[in-house]
Each structure stands twice: as C-alpha cells, then as structure tokens.
C-alpha cells in the first residue's frame, strides 16, 4: 500500500513538473466551476463488491417473482451488506414485502427502505437518471471511483458508501444538493464507522 502511494505521488510530481505555466485568462473568459477536492471515499474490496452484487441480484429476482409490474419502479443498491431500496411501489404492503425480502437474504446487515408510494402509471418515472448521476459524481469529484454509489431517482440523489469521517459525509450531502435539477439528497454514507 505504501509503495503504491509512493508511486502515485512520484507520478503526480512528474506530471506536475512537465506542465508549463498557463497564460493568464482574459477578463472576458467565463469563470469555471471551482475544482472540488476528491473525498477519500472508502473503497470496497472486489470480494465485498461481488458479494453485494449477488445480494442485489437475488433481491431483484425475488421482487420480480412477487410481481414484476408492481416492483418495476424499484432500484436496489447494496454496499457492505447494507441494502438501499429506492423508487416507488403502489401499495404499503409492497413496500413492507420488499424490505422483508431484503432482510431475509444471507449477508444483509441492514435494510434502508426509501421506497415511496405512487400510482401505477407513475412507476415508470422512478428509473435512475444516468445523466444526473454522472453530473453529481463529477461535482463531488468521485467520477470513475468506486468508493461511493450515486443514484438519482425522480431528481432525488441517493448516496451510499463510506467516507473517512462525519465531516466528509456532511460535505457530500451538501455538495450533491448543489447540482442543477437535484431536489434533495438522501445520504447513507458511513462517516468513520
């Protein structure tokens, strides 16, 4: 780990030394968005990520077997055994059954049920918005990194993962809310736990 950090540091220094000074910007140039520091999101091991993927697949299959039409507005993400249910269902009983099915899967440590109720014809509005997810990831400085799951469902940003401390968790929540089109942010990130 230390060797890897040393190599990355040396590579960064080499790149910085090779760059030439940029010419001063003219006053007519539009101001750019400030660069945010990359948060030290806690990465999962490949084994943990695979286990989480299996849990998500099992739960997706179980919900489809129950009633594929009624659960079509449900998105499932798993991080270190924590299952996050997002989206919408038609009836309160379907919300409870989704949570019960998740809790019954081996390896699940916690179920976070963020499902809301909606009419059947509105369920198709609760699919993840990949363009907004990308915008949130870029804004947070975590684009291309696996330390944080970002899902945007019906203009609500859901964050799931781990960070080094509580201050970073609060910073993630606040910064994600600054992205255009995001109504609010629901963050389930462990801060130093």
Quote the pLDDT of residue 116: 98
Quote the pLDDT of residue 157: 98
From the list 69, 75, 80, 149, the residue with the least C-alpha distance to 114 is: 75
Query: In the chain, what are the domains?
Result: 46-125 (3.30.1340.30), 130-191 (3.30.1340.30)
Name residues whose C-beta falls within 8 Å of residue 11's C-beta, 6 or more positions apart in sequence.
none
Quote the pLDDT of residue 7: 45
> pTM to 2 decimals?
0.76
How far apart CA 55 and CA 108 sit, in angstroms, is: 8
Name residues whose C-beta falls within 8 Å of residue 63's C-beta, 6 or more positions apart in sequence.
71, 74, 76, 98, 101
From the list 154, 147, 131, the residue with the least C-alpha distance to 44 is: 147
How far apart CA 25 and CA 32 sit, in angstroms, is: 11
Name residues whose C-beta falls within 8 Å of residue 91's C-beta, 6 or more positions apart in sequence.
70, 117
Q: Is 151 helix (H, G, I), strand (E, B) or coil?
A: strand
Task: Centre a 10 Å sphere on the Cβ of residue 177 and count the other Cβ atoms it contains.
Answer: 15
Would you put residue 81 in left (φ > 0), alpha (ψ -120 to 50) or beta?
A: left
> Per-residue pLDDT for the chain (193 aa), expressed as one digit of tens each?
455 444 444 444 444 444 444 444 444 444 445 545 545 557 888 999 999 999 999 999 999 999 999 999 999 999 999 999 999 999 999 999 999 999 999 999 999 999 999 999 999 999 999 999 999 999 999 887 778 999 999 999 999 998 888 898 899 999 999 999 999 999 999 864 4
């Amino acid at each position: 780990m230390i060797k890897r950090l040393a190599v990355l540091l040396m590579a960064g220094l080499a790149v910085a030394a090779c760059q030439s000074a940029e010419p001063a910007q003219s006053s007519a140039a539009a101001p750019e968005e400030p660069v945010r520091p990359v948060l030290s999101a806690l990465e999962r091991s490949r084994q943990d990520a695979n286990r989480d993927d299996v849990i998500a697949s099992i739960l997706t299959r179980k919900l489809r077997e129950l009633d594929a039409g009624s659960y079509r507005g449900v998105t499932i993400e798993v991080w270190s055994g924590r299952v996050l249910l997002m989206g919408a269902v038609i009836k309160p009983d379907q919300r409870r059954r989704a949570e019960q099915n998740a809790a019954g899967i081996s390896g699940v440590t916690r179920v976070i049920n963020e499902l809301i109720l909606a009419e059947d014809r509105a369920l198709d509005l609760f699919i993840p918005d990949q363009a907004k997810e990308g915008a949130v990831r870029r804004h947070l400085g975590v684009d291309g990194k696996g330390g944080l799951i970002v899902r945007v469902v019906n203009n609500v940003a859901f964050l799931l993962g781990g960070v080094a401390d509580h201050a970073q968790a609060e910073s993630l929540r606040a910064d994600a809310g600054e992205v255009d089109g995001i109504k609010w942010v629901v963050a389930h990130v462990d801060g130093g736990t």
